[in-house]
Structure 1
Amino acid sequence: MRKLLILSFLLCFYSKSFSQIAFEKGYLINESDHRIECEIKNLDWKKNPTQFEYKLPSSQEIKIGNLESVKEFGINGLLKYIKATVELDESSSSLNAMSKDMNPSFQSKEVFLNVLVEGKATLYSYENQVVKRYFYSISGADPKQLIYKKYKVNERVGENNQFRNQLTFDLSCVSINSPMELEYTQSGLGKYFIEYNQCSNSQYETFKKRESNLFHLSVRPGISFNSLKIENSQSSYGEIDFGESMDFRLGLEAEFILPHDKNRWGVIVEPTYRYYKSEENITTVNTNEDYLVSIEYTSIELPIGFRHYFLLNERSKLFINLSYVIEFGSGSLIEFERFDGAQPTPLETHSAGNFAMGAGFKYLDKLNFELRAHTNRDVLGTYNNWSSQYQSFNFIIGYSLF
């Protein structure tokens, strides 16, 4: 029943949030040089797009902009793409596919270039499944690739750093350092272009993603509804159902946000203390002997998994996660006490892994609530004749320390 509830919870979250994601105020310039104010679906592209979705202010109809119909589009102050036909070198940097030729192999290609720094000297980036390249233009000229290529030299890897010479000849200024030690990275090139525009007394604008914290540490107390059944098909004990108990759990979650797709994916690790205590009176099947069977089960769990967010607005978001749970330091005992005082050998629980699925709500990246269900865990897996079903359903409240 609880698994059905959490599945319904997930489906409700997904259907409600999917349609509300990421349309932001922006603009596009069409092939007739007409600027159109619109709302653009911001997918926080890691690879340069070939098309995008947008809506006009007076309509909810989703339209498609692409290389055939749009010269430029952007989200105000955040990102900007321009259409350009460029000479692009797509030589692979993978060792298995690397060329022995140090010279770039250019092919003409029409693309949307991502504007990083715009001024007298403008810096662009382009990334697809194979390469990441940077381009530049001066005073509105056509963009040219900043040339960088890895190539094989016998058993070594060489580097063609011609981009440094390009910058030396085309973008030199007395008050900035020589680019001859510059790395082919967005941060290094971006800084150089900013310094050049400043040195040239040129107005410039930078476009970059909103900065956000990519690591969160949260304290996560909660309530667990735990149940345990054990069974020995070869003995007179039969099935013993300890029933359900409401217990306390405490976790400390580390979340590492992946820096793309609008920070909607994360890796989570949550060491958790778990406690379960119960007892049951039973009568054996064949001998009609009365026993008190008790368990006091403690463990440290380590769920490791992935989380996906569904953005509702700037303040709140929904999430789902799936984790594999590693258990440490179980070693608890299931004890049998006959009513005449005799005590048969107890059963010792052993560490076992299982999966956990959860769904929740986060507010201001600080406060979060989660419902989480665990799959069955066999804590008596080392015994030949005994089997067990330990189940847990959790309500968790979390608070992010940072």
Structure 2
Amino acid sequence: MKNLITVLFFIIISISASGQRDFEPGYFIDDNDNKLECLIQNEKWLFSPKEVFYKLNESSEVKSFTVKNCKEFKIGDEGVFMRVSGDFPITQSKLKKKELSPDPELSQKTTFVQNIVKGNASLFWFVDNNGIVYLYSKDGGAIKPLLYKKYVLENLIIKENNIFRTQLVKDFECGNQPIIQKTEYRRKSMIKYFEYLNQCSSDKSYVVLERTAKQKANFPVTIKVWAGMQQNNYEAETTNPPTTFSFEDEVVAKFGGELEAFFPYFGYKKASVFLSTQFSKVGNTFVFPSNEANERAFEADYSIIEVSFGGRYYFELAEKSSLFIDLALAANIYSNSIINEITTSNITGSTSTEEIGSSFDDRLGGSFGLGYSYNKRIYLRLGILANQNVLDNSRFIEDKLSRINLSLGYALW
């Protein structure tokens, strides 16, 4: 198992390192308005970037810029990132921190914001631990945050203070139309409204810009694939002769997939529920001590498709690194488990095989996981599954399968 952990450690380091070579054509503008065409590392940031890596060409050294020395940058077809300073509303609704006051709580920031809609009416976007903030500008002027807050009344009714609607009505001639009352503080709704503003002002050249992969809806969903190794320990007690024994631990391959959905009200991508399916197959042999008459052995074969449903919580270590724990209820939706007793006569040399156990499905169990996530893209997880019976209608009084696994996961999106 130690060798397995070492191998998977080097695999995850290699994958992380390969991701560091994902540079795309772009540019950045420094404080002196110098524009530098270069290759910029596209990290598909979970939060608005703080430090961005670039190089002049494929063979040159990697350098970086930050919001302190860069006014604007762009990667490929994605919307331009621009430096903005101002009072940003805290929009993330955390149930334990909701206030009775409808007035937005503001936080002063200097940060990069990304352009979503470019035109006479331009829309921008920013995200960090405090939530998603939308910003706007008119005719290329100053970029201003759009104010919003979700709060709770004394009777626990949740309300929204959509101050941004008043801002837009005040600043745009076409703003005060029925569409503004239906506009929500969400990406699709905001884009639709800003498209309307540009169409109303006869701006036929406006564009909706490409979004980065991490700019998800308020209820982000990811799909992962998992592969790893599992160590199994199978114990059983027989009635004839009365014996308790353990099959030798065996390390086998394990693979599967997972659907994970995040809750927006517990901090951005911190709490989630997941539905996963895993497949594993094991074959073990237990040999009884020989006697003068014969030699006996038990041969166990079982393959299991298991579905787990549970919850997961992430503890952030840094902007891209986090630890997580998860708990799940697991059910075997398919199993093919057989134990054969093999007897070899020392007198005649003949061998006979008798099936002494049959398989069953729909057995419930539990699992616990502890792991590490890099950029919510690469995962390393140690999983422990609760003791579980494997066979029914067998010669055994009791049998028990315990499992521990180490898996490497990758989020497809």
TM-score, scaled to structure 2:
0.63
CA RMSD of aligned residues (A): 5.5
Name the CA shift for 1:231/1:28 in 2 (closer, same or farther; >3 Å).
same
Unaligned runs of 5+ in 1: 307-321, 358-372, 395-399
Name the CA shift for 1:136/1:349 in 2 (closer, same or farther; >3 Å).
same
Tell me the equivalent position of 2:27: 27
Aligned: 1:18 with 2:23: no
Name the CA shift for 1:19/1:88 in 2 (closer, same or farther; >3 Å).
same
Instruction: Verify the 8 A CA contact 2:92 2:132 in the aligned structure 1.
Output: no
Aligned: 1:146 with 2:146: yes
Displacement of 1:137 in angstroms is: 1.1
Tell me the equivalent position of 1:129: 129
Cα distance between partner residues in 2 of 1:153 and 1:27: 47
Displacement of 1:80 in angstroms is: 1.7
Cα distance between partner residues in 1 of 2:273 and 2:78: 23
Instruction: Verify the 8 A CA contact 1:150 1:159 in the aligned structure 2.
Output: yes
Displacement of 1:297 in angstroms is: 3.5
Unaligned runs of 5+ in 2: 263-267, 312-325, 346-350, 371-381
Displacement of 1:331 in angstroms is: 8.6
What is the DSSP-based 3-state SS (H/G/I as helix, E as strand, rest coil) of the residue aligned with 2:196?
helix
What is the DSSP-based 3-state SS (H/G/I as helix, E as strand, rest coil) of the residue aligned with 1:19?
helix
Tell me the equivalent position of 1:301: 306
Aligned: 1:98 with 2:98: yes
* Residue-by-residue CA offset, 1:365-388 (whole Å, 9 max, x unaligned): xxxxxxxx9989976699899777
What is the DSSP-based 3-state SS (H/G/I as helix, E as strand, rest coil) of the residue aligned with 1:195?
helix
Cα distance between partner residues in 2 of 1:154 and 1:205: 43
**1:270 counterpart letter in structure 2:** T
Instruction: Verify the 8 A CA contact 1:237 1:284 in the aligned structure 2.
Output: no
What is the DSSP-based 3-state SS (H/G/I as helix, E as strand, rest coil) of the residue aligned with 2:165?
helix
**1:114 counterpart letter in structure 2:** Q
Cα distance between partner residues in 2 of 1:87 and 1:145: 7
Name the CA shift for 1:257/1:17 in 2 (closer, same or farther; >3 Å).
farther
**1:173 counterpart letter in structure 2:** C
Q: Percent identity?
A: 20
Tell me the equivalent position of 2:322: none
Name the CA shift for 1:131/1:230 in 2 (closer, same or farther; >3 Å).
closer
**1:197 counterpart letter in structure 2:** N
Tell me the equivalent position of 1:269: 276
Cα distance between partner residues in 2 of 1:96 and 1:355: 26
Matches within 5 A, 1:301-320: 301-302=306-307
Name the CA shift for 1:289/1:217 in 2 (closer, same or farther; >3 Å).
same
Cα distance between partner residues in 2 of 1:390 and 1:90: 44
Tell me the equivalent position of 2:81: 81
**1:19 counterpart letter in structure 2:** A
Cα distance between partner residues in 2 of 1:342 and 1:65: 74
Displacement of 1:190 in angstroms is: 1.1
Cα distance between partner residues in 2 of 1:184 and 1:225: 45
Tell me the equivalent position of 1:209: 211
TM-score, scaled to structure 1:
0.64
Would you say how many aligned residue pairs link Structure 1 and Structure 2?
A: 353
**1:16 counterpart letter in structure 2:** S
Tell me the equivalent position of 1:199: 200
* Residue-by-residue CA offset, 1:208-249 (whole Å, 9 max, x unaligned): 33679977799x9x9x999987677997868686999999x9
Tell me the equivalent position of 1:316: none
Displacement of 1:145 in angstroms is: 2.3
Tell me the equivalent position of 2:164: 163
**1:158 counterpart letter in structure 2:** K
Residue of structure 2 aligned with 1:291, choices 277, 290, 296:
296
Cα distance between partner residues in 2 of 1:252 and 1:331: 17
Name the CA shift for 1:376/1:105 in 2 (closer, same or farther; >3 Å).
closer
- After alignment, is 4-13 or 377-386 more displaced? 377-386
Instruction: Verify the 8 A CA contact 2:275 2:310 in the aligned structure 1.
Output: yes
Displacement of 1:172 in angstroms is: 4.0
What is the DSSP-based 3-state SS (H/G/I as helix, E as strand, rest coil) of the residue aligned with 1:93?
coil
Instruction: Verify the 8 A CA contact 1:236 1:284 in the aligned structure 2.
Output: no
Matches within 5 A, 1:2-401: 6-7=4-5, 9-21=7-19, 22-57=22-57, 60-90=60-90, 93-106=93-106, 108-155=108-155, 156-173=157-174, 178-202=179-203, 203-209=205-211, 253=257, 255=259, 269-270=276-277, 272=279, 282-284=288-290, 290-291=295-296, 293-295=298-300, 297-302=302-307, 326=330, 328=332, 332=337, 334-336=339-341, 346=356
Instruction: Verify the 8 A CA contact 2:78 2:212 in the aligned structure 1.
Output: yes
Displacement of 1:191 in angstroms is: 1.5
Instruction: Verify the 8 A CA contact 1:304 1:325 in the aligned structure 2.
Output: yes
Displacement of 1:253 in angstroms is: 4.5
What is the DSSP-based 3-state SS (H/G/I as helix, E as strand, rest coil) of the residue aligned with 2:110?
strand
Instruction: Verify the 8 A CA contact 1:124 1:135 in the aligned structure 2.
Output: yes
**2:84 counterpart letter in structure 1:** A
What is the DSSP-based 3-state SS (H/G/I as helix, E as strand, rest coil) of the residue aligned with 1:27?
strand
Instruction: Verify the 8 A CA contact 1:48 1:128 in the aligned structure 2.
Output: yes
Name the CA shift for 1:336/1:237 in 2 (closer, same or farther; >3 Å).
farther
**1:269 counterpart letter in structure 2:** S
Displacement of 1:35 in angstroms is: 0.6
